[in-house]
Amino acid sequence: MTTYSAVVTTGIYCRPGCGAWPLARNTRTYEHPAAAEVAGFRACLRCRPYRVAASIAAGSPELVCRAWRLIIEGVLDGGTEAGLAERVGVSPRHLRRLFLRHLGATPDQLARSRRAHFARRLLDDTDLPVVDVAFASGFGSLRQFNRTMREVFRAAPTALRERRHRADRLAADGGLALRLPYVPGYDWDAARARLAERAIPGVEVVEEDTYRRTITVGGAPGVLEVSPGGDGHLVLVAHLPYWEGLIHLVGRVGRLLGTEGGPAPGAWSPFEDGVRETGAAARLVRGLGTYVPGLAEGLTHTFPEAAAVTEEALAALGLPAADASLVAALAR
């Protein structure tokens, strides 16, 4: 996990490797950027900590890890800490106490920081209109977005976009391109080889150094492409019907690829991964997946939604009874 250093004399926090050399007596360390921001520090303009994949320590309590995963999935975008606490089976006060003790920030503060950092990346990498950046990053309103960006980065979103470096903007031949940061030591070649080995025909394909897959967003098909980028990041190109909630799709890509320090690769969804292990994935895609013409070579279908996978539908595909029963149980 990355440890962030804050300098009390400048009010700035940095990630490891920054060229600044403050006196040790003037520095404070934090386990998460949100903790540094809560303490009143702002992100360094040189090392730009928001470009690093922020995670939590592997040794954090299991309950904190479960709550963090729910935050990543968006439970606090429109929900409350009380609702999150109920999901993990503790009181809101105890949940806040655990987060403050182990991460230095409350669940709400961590969610706010995560949304703000993702929005800052979109402002740098893309030309999405500011209002689209707000909703793509999980904010409930433009007003909330503007207020949070001013609190975290000390500037309005439009001013932050004007400050981006000339090389920040990513261009793609169609789709939306953005950087996908990874933790030091990440091995894209190994992850790509594993993805090729596990690829579901029609849904996933690995061609040279690029991984592509189909997804479903609100019932409509989309395509994701991942390829090598510059130092410390891959490049994700998303072809989607709309951008709302993009932050959560990007989070799922990170978990799939293992870019944030988890196992690589993971799975797009527990259901898809479970079906893959049964050996029935290819037949399920051909029989129950949605055919989508005109996609990249090798991509023909989206993986079926769990709700469409019933024992009756599986029996019609000719799956053995035992396999059909297992896949239907996974879908339920």
Q: What is the pLDDT of residue 221?
A: 94
Same domain, 280 and 323: yes
pLDDT at 23 over 90: no
Per the structure, the count of domains in the chain is: 4
pLDDT tens digits for 155-211? 999 999 999 988 899 987 789 999 999 888 899 999 999 999 999 999 999 999 999
Cα–Cα distance for residue pair 59/143, rounded to 1 Å: 37
Same domain, 73 and 149: yes
Same domain, 192 and 242: yes
Flag whether 129 is in a domain: yes
Same domain, 92 and 141: yes
Looking at 33-92, which runs of residues are DSSP E strands?
42-43
pLDDT tens digits for 318-330? 888 888 889 999 9
Q: What is the CATH number of the domain that holds 190?
A: 3.30.310.20
pLDDT tens digits for 298-311? 999 999 999 889 88
Flag whether 170 is in a domain: no
Flag whether 93 is in a domain: yes
pTM for the full predicted model = 0.90
Range of the domain at 32: 4-47
Flag whether 283 is in a domain: yes
Cα–Cα distance for residue pair 129/118, rounded to 1 Å: 15
Asked if residues 81 and 113 have their Cβ atoms less than 8 Å apart, the reply is: no
Cα–Cα distance for residue pair 134/67, rounded to 1 Å: 23
Q: Which helix (H) or strand (E) holds 12?
A: strand 12-14
Residue bearing the bigger pLDDT, 61 or 262: 61
Flag whether 127 is in a domain: yes
- CA 51 remoteness from chain centre: 13
Q: What is the CATH number of the domain that holds 122?
A: 1.10.10.60
Task: Kindly give the pairing relationship between strand 42-43 and strand 12-14.
Answer: parallel
Flag whether 54 is in a domain: no
